[in-house]
Structure formats: C-alpha cells, structure tokens
Amino acid sequence: SQTIHQWPATLVQPVGSPLSLECTVEGTSNPNLYWYRQAAGRGLQLLFYSVGIGQISSEVPQNLSASRPQDRQFILSSKKLLLSDSGFYLCAWSVLVTSPNGVMSEQFFGPGTRLTVL
Amino acid sequence: AQKVTQAQTEISVVEKEDVTLDCVYETRDTTYYLFWYKQPPSGELVFLIRRNSFDEQNEISGRYSWNFQKSTSSFNFTITASQVVDSAVYFCALSEALLDAGNMLTFGGGTRLMVKP
C-alpha cells in the first residue's frame, strides 16, 4: 500500500532563517506531487506541483521554492523565512484509479508540518 | 477559472442532529471532479468522496450522504445523526481535469463543524 511521509512534524524557526521540508512517498511510481499551505483558520492554497523528476510548477509567487530530486521525494525550501510563512504545510500525491464510472483520480495527503516563524 | 465556495465557515450542532454542509462551485469545463475531505484536529486531510461531472447519482455511505446537483452547481454533504467524532473542518474541492494530468485541486475555504455532546 502507498504511504506518504512528511518531516519534521513541527518546526519553529526565526525570521530570516532557511527552511527545508521533506516529503516522501512509498508504494507508487511516478506520482504527481503537491505542496499546499494552510494559514491559521483558512483554507488550503496550492504552492507547487510536480509531474516528474525535476519538473516543478509554481502556483503562487513567493519566497518559497520546491525541488524533486527523486521520483518519490518532494522538498519545500526557503532561503529566508518571513513571518507570513507560518502555517500548516501539506504534501500530497495523486494517482489514477479505475472505477465503474470510468478513470478517476484522487489526491492523498501527508500528515503535515506545522511551521511557526517567530 | 474555477472556484469553490463554502459559505458556512462554522456550524455548531448537538450530537444526533443532522447537519448539511454546503458547497457551490464554478467551472467552465464540462468534465470536472468534485471531492470532499475531512480535516480532524490532528491536521491530516482525510479523503471522503470523489464525484465526476457525468455522475449525478447521489451517494450514501453510512451516516454520510452527498447530493450533487449540476443545475445549481452544488455538491452538498449531509451527516445524519452527528457524533462528537465528526467534529472537524470539512473541505470541498474541484478539479477541472484528471489530477494525474498535473492539474490541481481548488479548495473551498472549509467549514468547521463542532458537534457538542
């Protein structure tokens, strides 16, 4: 079965410090991978998605970046954190499934990393 | 552009009451997919259901049921006989194409459901 890991689970960082959040997926090959951010009390915002190694698409311009050095590894980084970067970061992956209604797709989410920038 | 609106930011009910969470979406595509996710206090998003735009049949799974109406662009979620464990934030989401094509989910703002004993 497939599993998605994220670490660290929680992180407290000072403003201006660097950031590296890691996400890995097990049990599947060539998944689409996604990074979302959820600010306190708000909905989810897609930050980046990747359809393959080295392929990154950015949805929101900001001081964050993403990389996919391996098929099942997705990294979210920043050189200098801002206060506004605080939030709950979720990694997700997607796969096609066949159902009586045809071919569909669903997205599975990791446990998340809660980042507090002070 | 696609958009998902969950007008109810917070709902509070007493255990055993029925509750309906509203979801209204906007899309220009004729093929799209709708989803509901549950986010308990632990934070992890739990997939509940997906529905494609060609299947308007309503679905029931235990105490959960979903009412998809293309005429009103709505995909509402009803919990029957609510329980304290149902307390969570619920997100409705839309995708205009297969996720595996690289397209992403557009989420609504979420509805926080509080079920009191």
**Residue-wise pLDDT tens digits, A28-49:** 888 889 999 998 777 888 899 8
Query: Which stretch of A12-16, A89-93, A102-106, B19-23 has the lowest confidence by average pLDDT?
Result: A102-106
Give the pLDDT confidence score for residue A58 in this predicted structure. 86
Q: Which two tokens stand for residue A37?
A: 């951010």
**Residue-wise pLDDT tens digits, B8-17:** 999 999 999 9
CA gap A33, A102 in Å, rounded: 23
CA gap B9, B43 in Å, rounded: 17
Whether residue A105 and residue B47 make contact (CB cut-off 8 A), yes or no, is no
What is the sign, positive or negative, of the torsion defined by CA atoms of B114, B58, A107, A2? positive
Q: Cα A35–B97–A76 angle (5° rounding)?
A: 10
Identify the burial level of B48 via C-beta atoms within 10 angstroms of its C-beta, where 0-12 means exposed, 13-18 middle and 19 or more buried: middle
Query: Which of B45, B47, B50 is opposite residue A90, by nearest beta carbon?
Result: B45
Whether residue B107 and residue A44 make contact (CB cut-off 8 A), yes or no, is yes
Q: How far is B46 from chain A (nearest CA, A)?
A: 7
Q: Which two tokens stand for residue A16?
A: 């201006």
- pLDDT higher at A58 or A25: A25
